């Protein structure tokens, strides 16, 4: 479904992503784990078209992805960015409508909105509230719901558990499994490696812009190298 092939990304002179190749298959949960600054968000932003790659190719359903972000969304690839980044000046309803911006099927948009409310009941209560007034957990729910409103084939989640209380983290991961079960492929990055790997069909470890390890979620989770890799990164940072 998603195929990233030998992609390189630069920030000025900094080589942020180095020859990264990854793949996500239909209805899978694929995770990228890695420490701060490893390039996880950069990779996500590149796939979404916000950042430009200097070389390599990104294809989706066998076709190369277009360059502009709005055209990439039209292909069915939607990113829920790190730290939610909701429109605080828009209400919950308007945020959801903004998520469905490219769709013209009014009736189905309404149906999907109802579905989001059954998936995230709290949003129904907050319907007319400004997104900026929601709590962190509610905002994450809204961010995921806003992403789903575009009916993506591939939903990319950048650090969905960031800044959430442990109880909410479990709820978010349950929701992610739920969304996958409905047929949407999930591609996510997480620092919260153990929780993310536990639900992943496949996983990659990203370290200073390179993929250093990959395998099924279980394999990566049980691989002693993962722990070692993390320790290695931590030592490098300090």
Asked if 121 interacts with other proteins (CB under 8 A), we say: no
Phi, psi torsion values for 154, nearest 5 degrees: -125, 120
In the complex with other proteins, the residue whose CB is nearer, 98 or 162, is 98
Burial class (CB in 10 A: 0-12, 13-18, 19+), 217: buried
Asked if 87 interacts with other proteins (CB under 8 A), we say: yes
Among 97, 122, 162, 199, binds other proteins (CB under 8 A): 97
Asked if 49 interacts with other proteins (CB under 8 A), we say: yes
Asked if 11 interacts with other proteins (CB under 8 A), we say: no
Give how many residues touch other proteins by CB under 8 A: 25
Give every CB contact of residue 139 below 8 A, 6+ residues apart in sequence.
Answer: 84, 86, 131
Contact segment (CB under 8 A) with other proteins among 30-38, 94-102, 209-217, 228-236 equals: 94-102
Q: Return the number of other C-beta atoms located less than 10 Å from residue 89's C-beta.
A: 10
Asked if 213 interacts with other proteins (CB under 8 A), we say: no
Asked if 160 interacts with other proteins (CB under 8 A), we say: no
Do 193 and 207 touch, CB atoms closer than 8 A?
no
- Token digits for 190? 């997480």
Distance CA 116, CA 141 (A): 9
Asked if 146 interacts with other proteins (CB under 8 A), we say: yes
Distance CA 222, CA 6 (A): 27
Asked if 98 interacts with other proteins (CB under 8 A), we say: yes
Which parts of this chain interact with other proteins (CB under 8 A)?
A: 48-50, 68-70, 73-74, 78-79, 81, 85, 87-90, 94, 97-99, 101-102, 132, 146, 150
């Amino acid at each position: 479904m998603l195929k990233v092939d030998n992609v390189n990304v630069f920030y000025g002179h900094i080589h942020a992503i180095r020859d990264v190749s990854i793949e996500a298959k239909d209805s899978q949960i694929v995770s990228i784990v890695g420490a701060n600054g490893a390039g996880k968000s950069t990779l996500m932003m590149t796939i979404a078209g916000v950042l430009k790659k200097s070389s390599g190719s990104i294809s989706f359903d066998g076709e190369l992805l277009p360059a502009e972000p709005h055209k990439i969304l039209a292909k069915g690839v939607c990113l829920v960015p790190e730290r939610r980044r909701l429109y605080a000046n828009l209400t919950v309803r308007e945020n959801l409508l903004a998520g469905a911006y490219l769709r013209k099927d009014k009736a189905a948009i309404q149906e999907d909105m109802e579905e989001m409310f059954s998936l995230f009941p709290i949003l129904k209560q907050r319907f007319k509230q400004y997104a900026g007034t929601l709590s962190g957990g509610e905002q994450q729910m809204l961010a995921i719901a806003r992403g789903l409103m575009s009916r993506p084939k591939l939903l990319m989640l950048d650090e969905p558990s960031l800044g959430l209380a442990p109880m909410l983290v479990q709820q978010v991961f349950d929701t992610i499994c739920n969304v996958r079960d409905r047929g949407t492929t999930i591609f996510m990055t997480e620092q919260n490696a153990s929780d993310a790997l536990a639900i992943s069909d496949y996983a990659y470890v990203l370290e200073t812009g390179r993929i250093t390890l990959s395998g099924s979620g279980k394999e990566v989770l049980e691989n002693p190298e993962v722990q070692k890799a993390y320790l290695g990164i931590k030592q490098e940072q300090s």
